[in-house]
Amino acid sequence: MIRMPSFIKRLFGKKDAFVRPAEAKGHARMGMKVIRGVRPADEPIIALEVTDIEPEYRSRVRMIRDVAAQSGWREVFHRPQELRLRYKKGKNDLIDVWYSKMTVATIIDHPTKPRRPLFRKMVDKDLLRKIFEKPRTHTGEGYY
C-alpha cells in the first residue's frame, strides 16, 4: 500500500487513505481506481466540484455534465491538467471531451473497422447532445 497524496485526502476527508500499488502509478494523473472503503473500482475517483475548475471553463463543464447525465453516461474521470472529461456507457463505449476547445472523441466498437477514436472539433451544445445520445452520429466534420 502506498500513502495517498494530501490533496486527495482533503477531497475525501480520510486521514488513512491508501491506494493499491498496482494503481499507484495513476495517482499523478488522477486515474486511481480504488480508495480503500470509499468507492467501488468502476466509479469515478475525483469529480472536482465546479468551483475547483478555472472560472472560464465552469459553465462548459456544467453543461457537459448535464448533457451526459441526461443521456445516461457516467463520468469516469476529470483530468484538469488536460482539461478533459471522460464518460463511459455500457461495457466499451467512451466519450472524451476536451472542454478548452470543445473537442469530442467517441471511442466505440465498429462493426467492420478496428476500434479507434473519432474526433469532432468545436462542438456546440446541440451537437454534443446528439453525440451523447447516439455516439455514431455522423457530422461530416469528424476525423480519425
The tens digit of pLDDT for each residue in 35-56 reads: 333 444 454 444 556 667 788 8
Q: Do 42 and 56 fall into the same domain? A: no
Q: Name, in order, each residue with C-beta under 8 angstroms of 84's C-beta and a sequence gap of 6 or more.
A: 78, 96, 97, 98, 99
Is the same domain home to 40 and 64? no
**How many domains are contained in the chain?**
2
Q: Mind listing the pLDDT tens digit for each residue in 55-100? A: 889 999 999 999 999 999 999 999 988 999 999 998 889 999 999 9
31, 91: one domain? no
Query: Same domain for 32 and 68?
Result: no
Q: Are residues 67 and 30 located together in one domain of the fold?
A: no
50, three cell numbers? 465546479
Cell, residue 21? 500499488
Provide the residue range defining the domain that includes 18.
14-46
If asked whether residues 101 and 126 sit together in one domain, one would say yes
Q: What is the pTM of this model?
A: 0.65
CA dihedral 20, 24, 26, 30 (to 10 degrees): 80
